[in-house]
Amino acid sequence: CQKGIDELAQHYLSKAGVFAIRRAKKSDMEALSKATGGRIVTNMDDLSEDDLGQAAR
């Protein structure tokens, strides 16, 4: 996320097992997208299950 994530939203994402990053560079987001198979979305309203990538622990 280049703009940032609300602290409360990040808390609940973390509790749900969702890894969220604040203020990442575009090049870093592209590398993460490629590595995880996820798609970069600019609006949470456009997010679908197909956009989510996966990573092993």
36 within a domain of the structure (yes/no): yes
22 within a domain of the structure (yes/no): yes
**Whole-prediction pTM:** 0.66
32 vs 34: CA distance, rounded Å: 5
55 within a domain of the structure (yes/no): no
Using DSSP, state whether 51 is helix, strand or coil.
helix
52 within a domain of the structure (yes/no): no
Is the CB of residue 17 less than 8 Å from the CB of residue 32? Answer: no
Is the model more confident about 34 or about 4?
Answer: 34
Distance between first and last Cα of the chain: 21
53 within a domain of the structure (yes/no): no
Kindly report, residue by residue over 7-54, the tens digit of the pLDDT.
898 899 899 988 888 788 899 999 999 999 999 988 878 889 999 898
pLDDT of 2 over the 80 cut: no
37 within a domain of the structure (yes/no): yes
14 within a domain of the structure (yes/no): yes
Confidence of residue 5 (pLDDT cuts 50, 70, 90): confident
Is the model more confident about 12 or about 5?
Answer: 12
Domain that holds residue 34: 7-44
Q: How many domains does the chain have?
A: 1
Tokens at 51, concatenated: 């956009």
19 vs 7: CA distance, rounded Å: 13
